[in-house]
Amino acid sequence: MRAVLVLALGFHYTYLILALKNNSSSVIIVGAGPAGIAAATKLLSNGFHNILILEAEPRIGGRINSVKFFDAYVDLGARWCHGQVNNIVYDMVKDMNLLGRNEFSKKLYHSSRKFVDQKFVDDFFKIVEDIYEGHDDKKINYTNLGEYCEEEYIKIVNEKFGNDPTKHELALSMVHFFEFYVLGGEGSFSWHDIAAVADYQECEGEKLQNWYGKGYKTFLDVLMKKYPNPKKQLPVDDKILLNKDVSKIQWNQSAMNKSVKLWCSDGSTYEADSVIFTPSVGVLKERAEEIFTPRLPQIKLDAIRNIGFGAVMKVYMHFPHIWWGNLTGFNLLWSEEDSKAAVQEFLEGPNWKGRSWISYMSHVLEADQNPHVLVAWFTGPLIPAIEILPNEVLINGIYFSLEKFLGHIYRVTKPDSIIPSKWYTNPHFRGTYSFQTPEAHRTSAESILAQPLNNYDNSPILMFAGEATNPTHYGTVQGAVETGYREANRILKIPFCYPIPIK
């Protein structure tokens, strides 16, 4: 081993790179989602250019996927910048006038078409939000979020509506709807899988900031410095190879350099001194045992098993006419009887515990700057089965529901074009966003997954980034970006392997 002094011309400065190894260190980043791109930009902007990004999909962005649909971009994955305080995404764009704002619509319609008083609906949402965001002191005695929410909800409903049998009965029947509301935020298949007390830290401020119809991809351009001045962009694109599904990673803790070798499904191989692995915990759950040689330490495999990962599904729908007047969205409340009856009335598609798949569509929202487009949200255990339905069945089912709920008020039509998300079906994601299970909370699984695996000289060779490695901002884009920066900084801190700018 010998020390080598290298003089290199960097982006703005001349750099003195003091490398301890035979050649300058190299890093491979697996995955070009927000975490991978953030890691690359941090390395590049610090003059560390010996990087390669291997991305399995034919596009960059990962779970940011903005696609043009009629008048604007729609987001099949992340849509909103959640919060303004301590939010790295917000901090990067706040002075660029890029963010708009959505309101979560509190209009609610009933499957029986009976009118539901708006004051009652507002009270319901207030109860639900207070319980969901409630204090940890109350939650601590419960084994999971579902158990806590159910008990607390029934208690409050009894207190508030006990003297009004009609409202009391209606409120009690809304517990399923409450679960759908929670599942939309957590991405779990059941609220009984979610920790009652979790480590997630909300960023204060506006929760639903959208990208004015330009999509969340706008943020990736800011991250790569393509926006606002393309002349200042970092050369991230030059470092990315698309359609590279990494199928095997051999890591060698006793090698002096090129400690990691990677194989892709197309037969190509690559070597590097270290690797930052960013694919979702859904991918890790399915493939960790097959990808890593030697096997990952048991503590990491346990963390991967314990971190929660489920899915939600969005269906963007274009309608030839705006039949919904000036509604900005609506919630659909299925009664128990109607959701069961729907199994007989609408025969196509799957059912679960006697409930038709169409009754798992609980919210419909407007799209941003796209007047003819609505987006339907599905949650719950049937997502894997709903994702594989043909578009025609989806269209028929959605139309059946919309007509059932709103047909007496509006001239509902079928959408003439839809784009359904398929995050669970896609082997490069296997779900949407991570959540904390009781076991993940108890064992701090996200922090364990975030720990690097080190070489004989204690330098990191196999690092993990991605939203599920963020102990407090998991499940979000800002959480993913923070982890990409974290791992890039880890590399930049390795003694003698980072560039020193010379004035």
Ligand X SMILES: Cc1cc2nc3c(=O)[nH]c(=O)nc-3n(C[C@H](O)[C@H](O)[C@H](O)COP(=O)(O)OP(=O)(O)OC[C@H]3O[C@@H](n4cnc5c(N)ncnc54)[C@H](O)[C@@H]3O)c2cc1C
Write out the residues near ligand X by the rule CB under 6 A. 30-36, 54-57, 62-64, 77-80, 82, 244-246, 278-280, 283, 312, 314, 421, 423, 428-429, 432-433, 466-467, 475-477, 480
- Closest distance of CB 471 from ligand X, Å: 14
- Closest distance of CB 321 from ligand X, Å: 27
Distance CA 189, CA 183 (A): 7
- Closest distance of CB 151 from ligand X, Å: 29
Nearer to ligand X, 215 or 279 (CB): 279
- Closest distance of CB 192 from ligand X, Å: 22
Distance CA 95, CA 6 (A): 38
Nearer to ligand X, 55 or 487 (CB): 55
Nearer to ligand X, 19 or 462 (CB): 462
Nearer to ligand X, 181 or 433 (CB): 433
Distance CA 304, CA 200 (A): 17
- Closest distance of CB 400 from ligand X, Å: 24
- Closest distance of CB 442 from ligand X, Å: 23
Nearer to ligand X, 110 or 300 (CB): 300
Contact between residue 66 and residue 315 where contact means Cβ atoms under 8 Å apart: no
> In terms of C-beta density within 10 A (0-12 exposed, 13-18 middle, 19 or more buried), how is residue 149 classed?
buried
Nearer to ligand X, 193 or 387 (CB): 387
Nearer to ligand X, 180 or 429 (CB): 429
Nearer to ligand X, 64 or 342 (CB): 64
**DSSP state for residue 287 in the 8-state scheme:** H
- Closest distance of CB 110 from ligand X, Å: 27
Quote the Cα angle for 318-371-362, to 5°: 60
Q: Which among 25, 157, 110, 13 has a CA at the least distance from the CA of 491?
A: 25
Does a cis peptide bond (omega within 30 degrees of 0) precede residue 228? yes
**DSSP state for residue 401 in the 8-state scheme:** H
- Closest distance of CB 88 from ligand X, Å: 11
- Closest distance of CB 420 from ligand X, Å: 11
Nearer to ligand X, 240 or 333 (CB): 240
Does a cis peptide bond (omega within 30 degrees of 0) precede residue 294? yes
Residue indicated by tokens 């409630």: 134
Give 174-218 as a DSSP string. Answer: THHHHHHHHHHHH--S-GGGS-SS----PPPS-S-B--TTS-THH
Contact between residue 80 and residue 102 where contact means Cβ atoms under 8 Å apart: yes
Q: Where are the alpha helices (DSSP H) in 11-117?
A: 34-45, 88-93
The amino acid at 334 = W
Distance CA 186, CA 467 (A): 13
- Closest distance of CB 434 from ligand X, Å: 8
Phi, psi angle pair for 220, to nearest 5°? -60, -35
Nearer to ligand X, 127 or 303 (CB): 303
Q: What is the dihedral of CA 279, 296, 186, 477, to 10 degrees?
A: -40
Nearer to ligand X, 62 or 329 (CB): 62
* CA distances for 497 relative to 25, 26, 50, 459, angstroms: 6, 10, 11, 10
SS3 for 85?
A: coil
For the beta carbon of residue 163, count every other beta carbon within 10 angstroms: 8
